[in-house]
A and B are shown apart, each in its own frame.
Chain A
Amino acid sequence: GQQLNQSPQSMFIQEGEDVSMNCTSSSIFNTWLWYKQEPGEGPVLLIALYKAGELTSNGRLTAQFGITRKDSFLNISASIPSDVGIYFCAGRVSSASKIIFGSGTRLSIRP
Protein backbone atom coordinates (compact mmCIF):
# COMPACT_ATOMS: atom_id res chain seq x y z
CA GLY A 1 0.00 0.00 0.00
CA GLN A 2 0.93 3.65 -0.11
CA GLN A 3 3.51 4.84 2.38
CA LEU A 4 4.77 8.27 3.31
CA ASN A 5 8.42 8.68 4.25
CA GLN A 6 8.91 11.60 6.58
CA SER A 7 12.25 13.14 7.51
CA PRO A 8 13.94 13.88 9.72
CA GLN A 9 12.52 11.55 12.36
CA SER A 10 13.50 14.01 15.06
CA MET A 11 15.28 17.30 15.41
CA PHE A 12 16.56 19.52 18.14
CA ILE A 13 16.42 23.23 17.51
CA GLN A 14 17.27 26.41 19.32
CA GLU A 15 14.64 29.02 19.80
CA GLY A 16 14.65 31.41 16.87
CA GLU A 17 15.94 28.90 14.33
CA ASP A 18 14.10 28.05 11.12
CA VAL A 19 12.96 24.44 10.73
CA SER A 20 12.43 22.36 7.61
CA MET A 21 10.94 18.90 7.25
CA ASN A 22 9.68 16.93 4.29
CA CYS A 23 7.57 14.01 3.22
CA THR A 24 7.92 11.81 0.15
CA SER A 25 5.85 9.11 -1.45
CA SER A 26 6.24 6.62 -4.27
CA SER A 27 2.66 7.41 -5.30
CA ILE A 28 1.10 10.60 -6.61
CA PHE A 29 -1.11 12.35 -4.07
CA ASN A 30 -3.75 14.95 -4.90
CA THR A 31 -3.97 16.30 -1.35
CA TRP A 32 -1.21 16.93 1.16
CA LEU A 33 -1.91 17.76 4.80
CA TRP A 34 0.30 18.75 7.72
CA TYR A 35 -0.77 18.04 11.31
CA LYS A 36 0.78 18.76 14.71
CA GLN A 37 0.30 16.50 17.72
CA GLU A 38 1.15 17.47 21.27
CA PRO A 39 1.45 15.02 24.18
CA GLY A 40 -1.87 13.58 25.28
CA GLU A 41 -3.76 15.18 22.42
CA GLY A 42 -4.99 14.22 18.99
CA PRO A 43 -3.44 15.71 15.84
CA VAL A 44 -4.52 19.20 14.78
CA LEU A 45 -4.60 20.20 11.11
CA LEU A 46 -2.14 23.00 10.32
CA ILE A 47 -2.17 23.33 6.54
CA ALA A 48 -3.97 21.66 3.62
CA LEU A 49 -2.59 21.70 0.04
CA TYR A 50 -4.55 20.78 -3.08
CA LYS A 51 -2.50 21.80 -6.15
CA ALA A 52 0.96 20.89 -7.37
CA GLY A 53 3.32 23.77 -6.66
CA GLU A 54 0.93 25.36 -4.18
CA LEU A 55 2.59 27.29 -1.36
CA THR A 56 0.42 28.01 1.68
CA SER A 57 1.21 29.79 4.93
CA ASN A 58 -0.33 29.68 8.38
CA GLY A 59 1.44 32.24 10.53
CA ARG A 60 5.09 31.20 10.80
CA LEU A 61 4.37 27.91 9.05
CA THR A 62 4.69 27.49 5.30
CA ALA A 63 4.01 24.30 3.39
CA GLN A 64 4.46 23.42 -0.27
CA PHE A 65 2.87 20.81 -2.50
CA GLY A 66 5.73 19.39 -4.59
CA ILE A 67 5.66 19.75 -8.37
CA THR A 68 5.95 15.99 -8.87
CA ARG A 69 2.95 15.52 -6.52
CA LYS A 70 5.03 12.95 -4.67
CA ASP A 71 6.39 15.21 -1.96
CA SER A 72 5.61 18.06 0.37
CA PHE A 73 7.61 20.34 2.63
CA LEU A 74 6.89 22.20 5.85
CA ASN A 75 8.94 25.12 7.08
CA ILE A 76 8.67 26.84 10.45
CA SER A 77 10.31 30.23 10.74
CA ALA A 78 11.74 31.71 13.95
CA SER A 79 10.80 28.74 16.13
CA ILE A 80 9.43 29.28 19.61
CA PRO A 81 9.05 26.84 22.54
CA SER A 82 5.40 26.13 21.78
CA ASP A 83 6.40 24.70 18.39
CA VAL A 84 7.56 21.57 20.22
CA GLY A 85 5.57 18.51 19.24
CA ILE A 86 5.26 15.87 16.55
CA TYR A 87 4.52 17.02 13.02
CA PHE A 88 2.80 14.57 10.69
CA CYS A 89 2.45 14.82 6.97
CA ALA A 90 -0.59 13.10 5.52
CA GLY A 91 -1.95 12.65 2.06
CA ARG A 92 -4.81 11.44 -0.03
CA VAL A 93 -4.40 9.75 -3.41
CA SER A 94 -7.89 10.72 -4.54
CA SER A 95 -10.92 12.45 -3.07
CA ALA A 96 -12.48 9.05 -2.40
CA SER A 97 -9.46 7.49 -0.69
CA LYS A 98 -8.50 7.52 2.96
CA ILE A 99 -5.89 9.81 4.44
CA ILE A 100 -2.51 8.17 4.99
CA PHE A 101 -0.17 9.53 7.67
CA GLY A 102 3.61 9.64 7.76
CA SER A 103 5.51 8.48 10.84
CA GLY A 104 6.11 11.99 12.12
CA THR A 105 8.94 14.42 12.85
CA ARG A 106 9.50 15.05 16.56
CA LEU A 107 10.58 18.64 17.20
CA SER A 108 12.33 19.43 20.47
CA ILE A 109 13.96 22.56 21.84
CA ARG A 110 17.66 22.28 22.58
CA PRO A 111 18.29 23.32 26.17
Chain B
Amino acid sequence: EAEVAQSPRYKITEKSQAVAFWCDPISGHATLYWYRQILGQGPELLVQFQDESVVDDSQLPKDRFSAERLKGVDSTLKIQPAELGDSAMYLCASSLVEGLAVTDTQYFGPGTRLTVL
Protein backbone atom coordinates (compact mmCIF):
# COMPACT_ATOMS: atom_id res chain seq x y z
CA GLU B 1 0.00 0.00 0.00
CA ALA B 2 1.33 3.44 -0.96
CA GLU B 3 2.44 5.63 1.93
CA VAL B 4 3.65 9.14 2.58
CA ALA B 5 7.36 9.01 3.38
CA GLN B 6 9.08 11.45 5.71
CA SER B 7 12.65 11.81 6.87
CA PRO B 8 14.26 12.04 9.25
CA ARG B 9 11.95 10.46 11.83
CA TYR B 10 13.72 12.23 14.66
CA LYS B 11 15.87 15.36 14.76
CA ILE B 12 17.62 16.97 17.70
CA THR B 13 19.17 20.36 17.13
CA GLU B 14 20.37 23.34 19.08
CA LYS B 15 18.58 26.66 18.90
CA SER B 16 19.75 28.98 16.14
CA GLN B 17 20.69 26.02 13.93
CA ALA B 18 19.00 25.25 10.62
CA VAL B 19 16.91 22.09 10.13
CA ALA B 20 15.20 20.60 7.11
CA PHE B 21 12.52 17.96 6.75
CA TRP B 22 11.67 15.99 3.64
CA CYS B 23 8.37 14.54 2.46
CA ASP B 24 7.50 12.29 -0.46
CA PRO B 25 3.72 12.12 -0.96
CA ILE B 26 1.76 9.23 -2.39
CA SER B 27 2.32 9.03 -6.13
CA GLY B 28 -0.29 11.00 -8.05
CA HIS B 29 -1.40 13.14 -5.11
CA ALA B 30 -1.38 16.72 -6.30
CA THR B 31 -2.04 18.28 -2.90
CA LEU B 32 0.59 18.26 -0.16
CA TYR B 33 0.31 19.63 3.37
CA TRP B 34 2.76 20.37 6.15
CA TYR B 35 1.34 20.36 9.67
CA ARG B 36 2.88 21.09 13.05
CA GLN B 37 1.63 19.09 16.02
CA ILE B 38 2.59 20.30 19.48
CA LEU B 39 2.47 17.64 22.19
CA GLY B 40 -1.08 17.28 23.49
CA GLN B 41 -2.66 19.15 20.61
CA GLY B 42 -4.06 18.39 17.19
CA PRO B 43 -2.17 19.09 13.96
CA GLU B 44 -2.13 22.68 12.75
CA LEU B 45 -1.70 23.48 9.07
CA LEU B 46 1.49 25.34 8.18
CA VAL B 47 1.38 25.25 4.37
CA GLN B 48 -0.64 23.65 1.57
CA PHE B 49 0.65 23.03 -1.95
CA GLN B 50 -1.32 22.31 -5.10
CA ASP B 51 1.30 20.79 -7.41
CA GLU B 52 4.24 23.20 -7.06
CA SER B 53 2.15 26.22 -6.03
CA VAL B 54 1.46 27.39 -2.49
CA VAL B 55 -2.28 27.50 -1.84
CA ASP B 56 -2.23 28.50 1.83
CA ASP B 57 0.74 29.55 3.94
CA SER B 58 -1.11 31.94 6.20
CA GLN B 59 0.03 30.09 9.36
CA LEU B 60 3.66 29.65 8.28
CA PRO B 61 6.06 31.83 10.33
CA LYS B 62 7.77 33.17 7.25
CA ASP B 63 10.57 34.89 9.12
CA ARG B 64 12.09 31.53 9.91
CA PHE B 65 10.12 28.84 8.05
CA SER B 66 10.20 28.09 4.35
CA ALA B 67 8.68 25.34 2.25
CA GLU B 68 9.13 24.33 -1.34
CA ARG B 69 7.84 21.74 -3.76
CA LEU B 70 9.86 22.60 -6.83
CA LYS B 71 8.76 19.83 -9.17
CA GLY B 72 5.34 19.31 -7.67
CA VAL B 73 6.30 15.97 -6.16
CA ASP B 74 8.40 15.84 -3.00
CA SER B 75 8.70 18.75 -0.62
CA THR B 76 11.11 20.25 1.90
CA LEU B 77 10.26 22.27 5.00
CA LYS B 78 13.08 24.32 6.49
CA ILE B 79 13.47 26.18 9.76
CA GLN B 80 16.27 28.71 10.13
CA PRO B 81 17.08 29.55 12.85
CA ALA B 82 15.34 26.99 15.06
CA GLU B 83 13.90 28.22 18.36
CA LEU B 84 13.01 26.29 21.52
CA GLY B 85 9.31 26.71 20.77
CA ASP B 86 9.69 24.89 17.47
CA SER B 87 9.95 21.55 19.26
CA ALA B 88 7.03 19.54 17.88
CA MET B 89 6.03 16.78 15.47
CA TYR B 90 6.06 17.92 11.84
CA LEU B 91 3.59 15.94 9.77
CA CYS B 92 3.29 15.77 6.02
CA ALA B 93 0.07 14.69 4.33
CA SER B 94 -1.15 14.33 0.77
CA SER B 95 -4.48 14.02 -0.96
CA LEU B 96 -6.01 13.56 -4.37
CA VAL B 97 -7.76 16.19 -6.42
CA GLU B 98 -11.03 15.02 -7.97
CA GLY B 99 -12.36 17.41 -10.53
CA LEU B 100 -12.09 20.84 -8.94
CA ALA B 101 -12.28 19.58 -5.39
CA VAL B 102 -9.56 18.42 -3.05
CA THR B 103 -10.77 15.29 -1.35
CA ASP B 104 -11.02 15.21 2.42
CA THR B 105 -9.04 12.02 2.78
CA GLN B 106 -5.59 13.19 3.75
CA TYR B 107 -2.95 10.50 4.09
CA PHE B 108 -0.41 11.38 6.75
CA GLY B 109 3.19 10.33 6.98
CA PRO B 110 4.76 9.16 10.27
CA GLY B 111 6.13 12.62 11.01
CA THR B 112 9.46 14.08 12.06
CA ARG B 113 9.81 14.70 15.77
CA LEU B 114 11.94 17.81 16.30
CA THR B 115 13.59 18.63 19.60
CA VAL B 116 15.31 22.00 19.91
CA LEU B 117 17.76 22.28 22.82
Interface, chain A (partner B; CB < 8 A): 4, 31, 33, 40-45, 48, 88, 90, 92, 95, 98-99, 101-104
Contact = CB atoms under 8 A, between A and B. Distances in A.
B44 A42 contact: no
Most chain-B Cβ atoms within 10 A of its Cβ — which of A31, A43, A92? A43
Given A44-B108, A92-B104, A101 B43 contact: yes
Nearest to B40: A103
A63 to B, nearest CB: 13
27 contacts: A31-B104, A40-B110, A40-B111, A41-B111, A42-B4, A42-B91, A42-B93, A42-B108, A42-B110, A42-B111, A43-B43, A43-B91, A45-B104, A45-B106, A48-B104, A88-B42, A90-B42, A95-B101, A98-B56, A99-B104, A99-B106, A101-B43, A101-B44, A102-B42, A103-B41, A103-B42, A104-B42
Interface in B68-117: 91, 93, 101, 104-106, 108-111
Interface residues on B, range: 10 to 19
A95 B104 CA distance: 9
Contacts of B60: none
A94 to B, nearest CB: 11
